[in-house]
């Protein structure tokens, strides 16, 4: 992955994508495909054709692509998901399918297959999941048996079944993870290969504009030069190596779909009059159904942007920032899901009908907390990694983050960093109590630590983003929807929420665990800094008013009606 394309080119790509969507994906057409449970295959192919060529962003320059970086890809994924998460999934599948080749392929394999994506716009599929191997990919059962000629391996025969494969029924080429004698390995297989077939598309809850199908491999033979990387046993490392940015892509889907729903609710609420005034002027409406979701989506965005920038700064990003990718995915997809759910409520009975789209968006965005690793697997990954960091730094990791945030607060007193520092210190205390009480032997506690860490880090990230915006220091390619003052108000709200979540969760899981006595449950509230956290809630309502004003583009708060 390179540092990507220049900002001007990115804006051109995003503009073209918007124009294409406006022209080819009007809401009526999306609803029609959704009702028919059909993938608009020709349109997805057209997106990879000469007019738009969106796939080029994902392909390195040396193979005829544009060589987009993680930041470019996030912006593009958000834009695609705003249109339709199913269509976006069809495009993502090609990127995922080619990932093992991009990361682990020989130069010839990369030139051949990535070149075909760039030149021909082929669709690809990524065949990892199996009926009995989902979150635990290592349990895979598909086999790759070497075919020998004169004592030399000339091919592999693949046998097994892959489940829930996006583009499974449409892709020209798939990558398949299978157990070779040397261990799990990726193989490239072309549609039409004897013994390689797909089943009928799944009847899904959402993303009905994407094709999801099981793949069957019955003595399907692939030539030896289609073993990715030409060495057996690299498959799981190759799959892991790209998680940092494939999870960012799905995170961007969460932000895009969440905003697609919330923006509809915002627009609706300015028109819909109840009890004598538009709903947008009802504080209990905006402060429950709109504002908190806007804040959480922007927390997700802040974390995505920081992680994307960090990936783009590396010469070899493969294998880097996997935990950060998990945090971004967790925060952004959970926020997207909740925002879409709230948007149905915000439209009342209309939201519950298909016509107003939020019902479809809610069904679509739901997948983002499941594929590319479920939210629980994200919690596990974050919990484990941050637990290791806590032990390795002898409890200093989150204290150091708190000290950095305190310094930021001193420089930018309005960006909420002081409260985010309280959250971080409370988190350090929770981790330490968990260590003393040996509480992470409970799987649930470990996962909850992952959740709390994600919230604290997400809030800290938005505080840094708000401070950067105030100082005119956002990355060139950053989203600029909100003015620095609005971002600062959002950051303060997020920091307060994270601080309370950490304290509340910490109290709950430490006091609620059998090791609580060892963890000194009695002194816990004070050690977590609870009085300070409560004090930090001061100003919350004014900030929520300010965010509502920013979302509704009004100069000062006029809300409060009944
Ligand atoms: C529409 C769709 C498209 C998809 N596209 C693709 C694709 O293109 N390619 C591909 O390879 N796969 C694809 N998938 C598969 C997807 O990545 C998996 O469904 C996902 O990883 C979860 O695996 P699973 O369904 O087997 O659930 P499981 O792993 O069985 O999980 C079931 C539940 O248990 C929880 N859980 C799992 N393990 C643990 C644990 N150790 N501790 C606690 N809780 C746990 C999970 O969080 C989840 O809530 C797709 C799935 C869908 C639905």
Q: What is the DSSP string of 216-263?
A: EEEEEEEEGGGBGGGSTT-HHHHHHHTHHHHHHHHHHHHHHHHHHHHH
- Taking CA atoms only, the protein residue closest to ligand 1 atom 17 is 371
**Ligand 1 near 161 CB (within 6 A):** no
- Taking CA atoms only, the protein residue closest to ligand 1 atom 43 is 376
d(C-alpha 530, C-alpha 218), whole Å: 61
Interval 204-252: pLDDT, tens = 999 999 999 999 999 999 999 999 999 999 999 999 888 877 999 999 9
At residue 330, φ and ψ (nearest 5 deg) are -60, -50
**Low pLDDT (below 50) residues in the chain:** 1, 518, 558-562
Contact 491, 546 (CB under 8 A): no
**Ligand 1 near 370 CB (within 6 A):** yes
Determine the pLDDT at residue 3: 84
**Ligand 1 near 211 CB (within 6 A):** no
Determine the pLDDT at residue 316: 87
Q: How far is the CA of 214 from the centre of ligand 1 (A)?
A: 14
> What are the catalytic residues?
372
Q: Which of 11, 118, 6 is nearest to 60 (CA)?
A: 118
Using the atom order of ligand 1, give the atom closest to the CA of residue 136.
29
Determine the pLDDT at residue 519: 52
Q: What is the dihedral of CA 292, 294, 296, 298, to 10 degrees?
A: -150
- Taking CA atoms only, the protein residue closest to ligand 1 atom 47 is 376
- Return the biggest CA–CA distance within the chain: 86
Using the atom order of ligand 1, give the atom closest to the CA of residue 202.
1
Q: Which of 94, 124, 129 to mutate to test the pocket of ligand 1 (most atoms within 8 A of CB)?
A: 129
d(C-alpha 121, C-alpha 59), whole Å: 11
Using the atom order of ligand 1, give the atom closest to the CA of residue 97.
8
Q: Which of 374, 379, 440 to mutate to test the pocket of ligand 1 (most atoms within 8 A of CB)?
A: 374
Cα 245 from chain centre:
9
Contact 354, 72 (CB under 8 A): no
Interval 315-341: pLDDT, tens = 988 889 999 999 999 999 999 999 999
Burial 400-435 (b: 16+ CB within 10 A, else e): ebbebbbebbeebebbbbbbbbbbbbbbbbbbbbbb
Cβ neighbours of residue 297 under 8 Å, at least 6 residues apart? 254, 255, 258, 259, 262, 332, 335, 336, 339
Q: How far is the CA of 38 from the centre of ligand 1 (A)?
A: 23
d(C-alpha 433, C-alpha 518), whole Å: 8
Q: How far is the CA of 164 from the centre of ligand 1 (A)?
A: 9
Q: Which of 262, 259, 505, 261 is nearest to 379 (CA)?
A: 505
Determine the pLDDT at residue 557: 52
**Ligand 1 near 186 CB (within 6 A):** no
Determine the pLDDT at residue 241: 87
Determine the pLDDT at residue 244: 75
Using the atom order of ligand 1, give the atom closest to the CA of residue 373.
21
- Taking CA atoms only, the protein residue closest to ligand 1 atom 35 is 376
Interval 510-545: pLDDT, tens = 989 865 554 555 688 899 999 999 999 999 999 999
Cβ neighbours of residue 242 under 8 Å, at least 6 residues apart? 99, 102, 103, 318
Q: How far is the CA of 374 from the centre of ligand 1 (A)?
A: 6
**Ligand 1 near 485 CB (within 6 A):** no
Q: How far is the CA of 160 from the centre of ligand 1 (A)?
A: 18
Using the atom order of ligand 1, give the atom closest to the CA of residue 177.
11
Q: How many CB atoms lie within 10 A of CB 468?
A: 21
Please provide the distance, in angstroms rounded to a whole number, between the alpha carbons at the two ends of the chain.
53
d(C-alpha 457, C-alpha 463), whole Å: 10
**Ligand 1 near 129 CB (within 6 A):** yes
**Ligand 1 near 95 CB (within 6 A):** no
Hey, what long-range contacts does 132-139 have (CB within 8 A, 24 or more apart)?
134/163, 135/373, 135/374, 135/376, 135/377, 137/177, 137/184, 137/236, 137/239, 138/184, 138/236
Could you give the angle at which helices 322-346 and 375-392 cross, rounded to 10 degrees? 140
**Ligand 1 near 204 CB (within 6 A):** yes
Determine the pLDDT at residue 559: 44
**Ligand 1 near 126 CB (within 6 A):** yes
């Amino acid at each position: 992955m390179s540092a990507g394309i220049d900002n001007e080119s990115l804006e051109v790509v995003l503009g073209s994508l918007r124009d294409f969507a406006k022209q080819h994906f009007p809401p009526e057409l999306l609803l029609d495909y959704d009702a028919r449970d059909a993938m608009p295959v020709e349109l997805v192919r057209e997106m990879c054709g000469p007019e738009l060529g969106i796939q080029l962003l994902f392909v390195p320059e040396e193979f005829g692509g544009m060589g987009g970086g993680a930041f470019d890809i996030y912006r593009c994924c958000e834009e695609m998901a705003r249109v339709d998460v199913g269509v976006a999934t069809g495009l993502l599948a090609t990127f995922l399918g080619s990932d093992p080749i991009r990361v682990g392929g020989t130069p010839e394999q990369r030139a051949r297959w990535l070149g075909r994506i760039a030149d021909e716009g082929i669709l690809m599929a990524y065949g990892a999941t199996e009926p009995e191997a989902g979150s635990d990919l290592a349990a895979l059962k598909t086999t790759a048996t070497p075919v020998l000629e004169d004592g030399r391996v000339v091919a592999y025969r693949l046998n097994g079944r892959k489940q829930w494969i996006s583009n499974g029924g449409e892709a020209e080429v798939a990558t398949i993870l299978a157990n070779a004698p040397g261990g799990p390995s990726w193989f490239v297989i072309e549609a039409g290969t004897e013994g390689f077939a797909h089943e009928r598309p799944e009847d899904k809850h959402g993303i009905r504009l994407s094709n999801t199908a099981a793949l069957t491999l019955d003595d399907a033979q692939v030539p030896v030069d289609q073993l990715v990387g030409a060495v057996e046993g690299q498959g799981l490392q190759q799959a892991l190596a790209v998680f940092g940015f494939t999870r960012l892509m799905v995170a961007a889907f969460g932000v895009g779909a969440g905003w697609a729903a919330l923006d509809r609710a915002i627009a609706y609420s300015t028109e819909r009059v109840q009890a004598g005034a538009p709903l947008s002027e009802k504080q209990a409406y905006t402060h429950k159904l709109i504002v908190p979701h806007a804040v959480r989506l922007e927390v997700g965005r802040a974390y995505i942007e920081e992680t994307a920038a960090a990936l783009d700064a590396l010469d070899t990003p493969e294998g880097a920032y996997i935990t950060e990718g998990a945090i971004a995915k967790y925060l952004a997809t959970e926020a997207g899901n909740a925002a879409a759910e709230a948007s149905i409520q915000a439209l009342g009975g209309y939201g519950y009908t298909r016509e107003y789209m939020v019902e479809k968006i809610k069904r679509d965005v739901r997948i983002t907390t499941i594929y590319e690793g479920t939210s629980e697997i994200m919690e596990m990954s974050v919990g484990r990694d941050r637990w290791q960091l806590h032990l390795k730094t002898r409890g200093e990791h989150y204290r150091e983050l708190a000290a950095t945030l305190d310094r930021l607060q001193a420089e930018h007193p309005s960006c909420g960093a002081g409260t985010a520092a309280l959250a971080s210190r409370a988190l350090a205390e929770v981790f330490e109590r968990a260590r003393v009480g040996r509480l992470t032997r409970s799987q649930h506690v470990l996962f909850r630590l992952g959740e709390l860490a994600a919230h604290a880090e997400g809030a800290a990230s938005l505080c840094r983003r708000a401070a950067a915006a105030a100082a005119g220091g956002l990355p060139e390619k950053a989203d600029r929807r909100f003015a620095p003052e609005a971002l600062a108000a959002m950051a303060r709200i997020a920091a307060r929420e994270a601080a309370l979540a950490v304290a509340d969760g910490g109290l709950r899981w430490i006091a609620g665990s059998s090791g609580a006595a060892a963890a000194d449950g009695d002194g816990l509230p004070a050690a977590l800094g609870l009085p300070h956290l409560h004090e930090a809630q001061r100003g919350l309502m004014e900030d929520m008013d300010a965010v509502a004003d920013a979302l509704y583009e009004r100069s000062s708060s006029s809300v409060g009606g009944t």
